[in-house]
């Protein structure tokens, strides 16, 4: 009986197991379980199912593993069992159903030659998530997003491999979490035989690295991206999509399945996401010519399949599972796979229903995310599955380009010190002759896992990116700029020969520039911390190499003001403004109510207690300069949440930043950034105050010729000497 023709569940009783319910499961199939399988079994919080095959040992066992021999698979009485071939990855389907039977909420799909590097902690398990959504059209190449611009995943249309991804993204703090999540894989990732035959060495395996610090990205409705069944997490809502066809070649089946699953996800408001590398794969040697033969249809039919799926519709009268079966049938009619897949899919869906799996509900309106977000910029459709409660932020994201695995790629790339000398000598005409050096990368080794966020209080200074990139680009691999106007930023930097990451955020003339920190945190970069800095700050980064990345850094000496919060007529202008006492009091009242607190905050009273302990009184706060400070990743969620609380009332930045830092860090753990913040006439010649014992100098106006020359003769030689081991002729540095 066809599934779509029945409203009743099968009368066949599925045999129960004696395994205690478990939420997180890993499913593999293996002829003989490998060391990687044993490694998976040791991941905390996960249980492993190994689906055996005819050559598998009948009584294999390992702690925290459930081994399903062929005999045990038969005893489970799943309908799909008789439809599955032997000597096939398809034995996994019984493992999926077994996990669902035993309480699975998440299933991690992988191969027995994959090894996760992060205990699977980098995936998203919460119902909502902040993060990026791709803002391009039609196709998305995840390998480009993670820093491999010349690489494409298996199944990517060959007609499009020369096209670059859009670099535009939407940022929200509350997307519905993606129900299918794939991590990229370092080592030997999933590429097609064409690349392996033309782009890699014949004498050594691929050894690809992706940008490990790049943020995850959601693929919007209306856009396709090839993905496979390796290193992929499925939420319960996506368990229906675990079925992979058995009637196509092994090099084709999971790619066709991936496109099929993506189109069906649109029907229920779900999305796919890609994550930075969280696993390593070593592939066994085999014939790439045989792979090419197996992939032949994929090379010539992928464009046709994508066009078909883009235009495919399911009648509104059908349930979601009926749509699943209809698309399976329609793809068979178009000869993308065999008609046997229809019966396999029907049995799979019946097994799911018998296990009590809840059939997802369809959304009412199907419209591409691109069109909906372009028109609304608030939510994606009228259906609750798409509700986005906050306006979106426009982001330009440029990954850190990784070494290309292409055989023809040049190996003559300059070292980091050579690049630093080259870029700095371009902006400073006095930097011409090296005496010695090119032997130190201490700074770049220290800051490689820190995101530098440079904010512009005023949009008129975007052209200074030329200098900022030369000063900091070789020390901080990960830099993002932030300001009011993305179009003007692109216009003023387009002649520089490279693109830059940018957050478009209204900063109200710099009074709320802490929102740059909030947006950077919401992007979910995989970093140790966030260094937030104004565009007119000169940071002596080599002086900070022994500082803890696990605690806040902040300016404490110099200009800070102790304020009695009950005082309404203070000598400081900003406390008397609308962004001062009035706004602070509203926020404090909201915090004291302790309502709508996320789990990671625990209690706002702890924050306030820490703040009052720091200042010495519940009547006192401290306002301070906030042109440079550091947020440890361990406190990123709390920092973002409290900053947004203050932003709701538009509290002034020099109140917000020190208050949040003092509420989340103890005095003894706070790392002090010592520097010179200059005022009035002292700003005219700032380098009179350039000192060995200072970590920063502020403000530095690079548009002033005298200041710029002082920077080139004093600060730049120090960068080259202390960060890159380069000594210059006639060095006049302090």
Q: Tell how many helices (H) and how many strands (E) occur in the chain.
A: 23, 28
Sign of CA dihedral 672, 657, 479, 141: positive
pLDDT, position 731? 53
Residues of the chain with confidence (pLDDT) below 70: 1-20, 200-203, 249-252, 284-286, 365-390, 407-412, 434-442, 556-559, 730-734
Spell out the residues 6+ positions from residue 493 whose beta carbon is closer than 8 angstroms to its own: 462, 463, 465, 466, 499, 500
Q: Are strands 168-176 and 128-134 parallel, antiparallel or unpaired?
A: antiparallel
**C-alpha distances out from residue 374 to 171, 265, 484, 506, 634, Å:** 13, 21, 19, 19, 34
Yes or no: say if 174 and 130 are a contact pair by the CB < 8 Å rule. yes
Q: How many CB atoms sit inside 10 A of residue 175's CB?
A: 22
User: How far apart (Å, rounded) are the C-alpha atoms in residues 354 and 24?
Assistant: 21
User: How far apart (Å, rounded) are the C-alpha atoms in residues 565 and 585?
Assistant: 8
Yes or no: say if 228 and 220 are a contact pair by the CB < 8 Å rule. no
Sign of CA dihedral 31, 36, 38, 44: negative
Nearest to 630 by CA among 724, 512, 517: 517
User: How far apart (Å, rounded) are the C-alpha atoms in residues 494 and 475?
Assistant: 22
> Domain segments of the chain: what residues?
3-395, 416-425+444-675
Per-residue tokens: 701: 């106006």
User: How far apart (Å, rounded) are the C-alpha atoms in residues 101 and 357?
Assistant: 9
CA 526-392-488 angle, to 5 degrees, is 90
User: How far apart (Å, rounded) are the C-alpha atoms in residues 239 and 68?
Assistant: 20
pTM score of the predicted model: 0.92
User: How far apart (Å, rounded) are the C-alpha atoms in residues 259 and 235?
Assistant: 18
Task: Please spell the DSSP secondary structure of 433-497, one letter per residue.
Answer: -EEE-----HHHHHHTTEEEEEE-SSGGGGGGHHHHHHHHTTT-SEEEEEES-HHHHHHHHGGGS
pLDDT, position 19? 65
Q: What are phi and psi of 165, to 5 degrees?
A: -60, 150
Which CATH number among 3.10.20, 3.30.730, 3.90.550, 3.30.310 corresponds to the domain 416-425+444-675? 3.90.550
Nearest to 260 by CA among 163, 353, 327: 327
């Amino acid at each position: 009986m066809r599934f779509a023709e029945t409203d009743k569940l099968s009368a066949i009783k599925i045999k129960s197991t004696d395994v205690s319910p478990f939420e997180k499961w890993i499913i593999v199939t293996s002829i003989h379980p490998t060391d990687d399988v044993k490694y998976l079994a040791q991941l905390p919080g996960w249980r492993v199912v190994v689906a055996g095959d005819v050559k598998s040992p009948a009584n294999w066992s390992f702690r925290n593993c459930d081994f399903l021999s062929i005999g045990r698979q038969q005893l489970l009485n799943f309908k799909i069992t008789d439809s599955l071939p032997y000597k096939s990855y398809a034995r996994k389907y019984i493992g999926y159903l077994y996990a669902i039977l035993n309480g699975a909420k998440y299933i991690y799909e992988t191969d027995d030659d994959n090894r996760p590097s992060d205990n699977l902690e980098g995936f998203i398990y919460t119902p909502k998530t902040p993060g990026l959504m791709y803002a391009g059209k039609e196709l998305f190449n995840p390998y480009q997003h993670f820093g491999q611009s010349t690489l494409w995943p298996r199944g990517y249309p060959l007609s499009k491999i020369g096209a670059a991804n859009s670099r535009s993204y939407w940022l929200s703090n509350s997307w519905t979490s993606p129900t299918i999540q794939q991590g990229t894989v370092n080592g030997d990732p999933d590429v097609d035989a064409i690349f392996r035959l033309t782009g890699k060495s014949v004498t050594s395996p691929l050894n690809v690295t992706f940008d490990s610090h790049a943020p995850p990205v959601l693929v919007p409705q209306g856009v396709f991206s090839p993905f496979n069944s390796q290193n992929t997490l499925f939420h319960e809502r996506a368990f229906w999509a675990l079925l992979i066809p058995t009637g196509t070649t092994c090099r084709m089946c999971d790619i066709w399945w991936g496109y099929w699953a993506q189109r069906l996800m649109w029907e229920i408001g779900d999305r796919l996401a890609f994550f930075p590398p969280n696993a390593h794969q070593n592939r066994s040697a085999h014939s790439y010519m045989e792979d090419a033969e197996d992939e032949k249809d994929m090379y010539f039919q992928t464009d046709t399949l994508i066009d078909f799926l883009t235009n495919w519709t399911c009648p509104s009268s059908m349930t979601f599972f009926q749509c699943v079966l209809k698309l399976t049938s329609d793809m068979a009619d178009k000869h993308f796979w065999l008609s046997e897949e229809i019966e396999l899919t029907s049995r799979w869906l019946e097994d799911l229903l018998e296990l009590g799996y809840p059939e997802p509900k369809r959304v009412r309106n199907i419209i591409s995310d691109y069109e909906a977000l372009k028109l609304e910029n608030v939510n994606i459709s009228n259906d609750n599955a798409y509700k986005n409660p906050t306006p979106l932020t426009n982001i330009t994201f440029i990954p850190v380009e990784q070494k290309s695995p292409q055989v023809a790629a040049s190996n003559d790339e300059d070292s980091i010190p050579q690049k630093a000398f080259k870029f700095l000598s371009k902006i400073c005409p006095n930097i011409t002759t090296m005496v010695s050096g090119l032997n130190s990368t201490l700074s770049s080794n220290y800051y490689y896992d820190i995101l530098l966020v440079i904010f512009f209080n005023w949009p008129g200074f975007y052209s200074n990116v030329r200098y900022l990139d030369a000063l900091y680009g070789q020390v901080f691999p990960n830099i993002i700029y932030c300001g009011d106007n993305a179009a003007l930023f692109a216009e003023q930097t387009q002649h520089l020969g490279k693109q830059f990451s940018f957050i478009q955020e209204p900063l109200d003339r710099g009074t709320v520039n802490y929102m740059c920190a909030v947006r950077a945190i919401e992007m979910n970069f995989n970093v140790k911390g966030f260094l937030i800095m104004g565009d007119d700050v000169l940071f002596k980064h080599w002086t900070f190499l022994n500082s803890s990345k696990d605690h806040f850094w902040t300016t404490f000496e110099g200009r800070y003001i102790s304020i009695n919060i009950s005082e309404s007529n203070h000598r400081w202008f900003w406390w008397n403004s609308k962004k001062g006492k009035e706004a602070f009091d509203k926020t404090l009242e909201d915090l004291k109510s302790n309502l709508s607190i996320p789990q990671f905050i625990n209690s706002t009273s702890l924050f306030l207690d820490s703040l009052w302990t720091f200042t010495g009184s519940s009547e006192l706060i401290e306002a301070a300069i906030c042109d440079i400070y550091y947020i440890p990743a361990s406190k990123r969620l709390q920092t973002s949440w409290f900053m947004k609380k203050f932003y709701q009332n538009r509290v002034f930045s020099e109140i917000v930043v020190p208050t949040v830092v003092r509420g989340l860090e103890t005095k003894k753990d706070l790392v002090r950034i010592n520097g010179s913040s200059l005022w009035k006439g002292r700003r005219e010649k700032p380098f009179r105050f350039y000192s060995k014992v200072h970590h920063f100098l502020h403000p530095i106006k690079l548009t002033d010729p005298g200041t710029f020359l002082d920077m080139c003769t004093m600060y730049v030689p120090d960068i080259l000497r202390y960060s890159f081991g380069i000594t210059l002729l006639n060095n006049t540095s302090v």
